Amino acid sequence: MTVLLIGTAVAALAVMLAAFAVGRARGRHDGVDVAWGAGFAVVAAVGAVLTAGHGDPGMRVLATALTVVWGLRLSVHILLRQRGHPEDRRYVDLLAGAPGNRDRYALRKVYLTQAAVLWFVSLPVQAAQYASDLSPWALAGVAVWLVGMVFETVGDAQLARFRARGGGGVLRTGLWRYTRHPNYFGDACVWWGLFALAALDPAGWLTLLSPVLMTYLLARGTGKPLMEKHMGQRPGYADYVARTSGFVPLPPKRSR
C-alpha cells in the first residue's frame, strides 16, 4: 500500500508540474483546470498498474474506468471552453496580488496545492483498486456515479448552448431550473459513487474525508462561492438565487 500511495502522489505532482511548465510558457495559468481532470485519470491509471496482483481485477478495472472517463470528459470540456478566450478571471484576480514573482506564486498557491488535493481526493479510487471486491453492491456506487455524470455532462452542455446563443443573462431552464450548480452537484455525486466502491472493503471507510473534502470545495470552497461572486452582478441573478436551490436539486420556489 505504501508503494501505491507514494506512486500516485508522484503522479499527481508530475501532472501539476507539467501543467505549470505549460502555463508559464503560455503566460496564463488557468490551464491548471484542464490538468485537474486529466490528473485524476493519470493517478487512476498509475494506481491500476501499482495494484496489479492485489484486490479484485474486476473492481480495479471498474474504479479505474469510471475515474478516467470522468476525468478526461472534464478536461476536454474545460479545454474547449477556454479556447479562444482570455485567462479565467479567477486566476487573474488571484495572481494580481502575487507578492514577488507571479509564476512562483502560482506554482505554490495553485499547482502544488491542487496536486495535494488531487491526490487526497483520489484515495477512494486507490482503495477500491487495492482492496475492494467486486460485488452486486458495487452497482449502488456505479448508480450514484452515473447520476453525477448525467448532472455534470448535461448541465455543462446546457450552459454551453446558452452561452453560444449569446446568453448574457441567467440560465433558468433545464437542470439549472432546479439547482444553480448542476455540474458541481454532479461532480460531488461522482466522488461519492467512487467512495461507495472503496467502502465495500472496511478499510475503504478510511477514505471518507476525500468525498467530504470534494463536496466542501464545490459547495463552500473554491467552486460555488467564487462562481456566484462572478455572476452576482448580472441582472436577475439575485432573483434566481432567491428561487433556486444552491446545490442539491430541488423544485424552484414560487415568486412572491
What is residue 74's predicted lDDT score, i.e. its pLDDT? 97
What is residue 230's predicted lDDT score, i.e. its pLDDT? 67
| Domain map (residue ranges) of the chain | 2-243
Is 0.85 topped by the overall pTM? yes
What is residue 155's predicted lDDT score, i.e. its pLDDT? 96
What is residue 237's predicted lDDT score, i.e. its pLDDT? 83
Question: Count of CB atoms within 10 A of residue 254's CB?
Answer: 6
CA distance 74 to 85: 18
Residue 203 DSSP symbol:
G
Here the cell at position 19 is 501543467
Helical packing angle, 32-50 and 57-82, nearest 10°: 170
Here the cell at position 133 is 471486491
What is residue 213's predicted lDDT score, i.e. its pLDDT? 97
What is residue 146's predicted lDDT score, i.e. its pLDDT? 98
39: left (phi over 0), alpha (psi -120 to 50) or beta: alpha
CA 252: distance to chain centroid? Answer: 26
Averaged pLDDT, groups of 10, the chain, 256 residues long: 95 98 95 97 98 92 98 97 88 86 93 98 96 88 98 95 82 93 96 96 95 94 72 78 92 78
Give the CA count within 13 Å in the CB-facing half-sphere of 16: 23
Here the cell at position 41 is 485519470
SS3 147: helix
What is residue 236's predicted lDDT score, i.e. its pLDDT? 79
Written as one letter, the residue type at 58 is: G
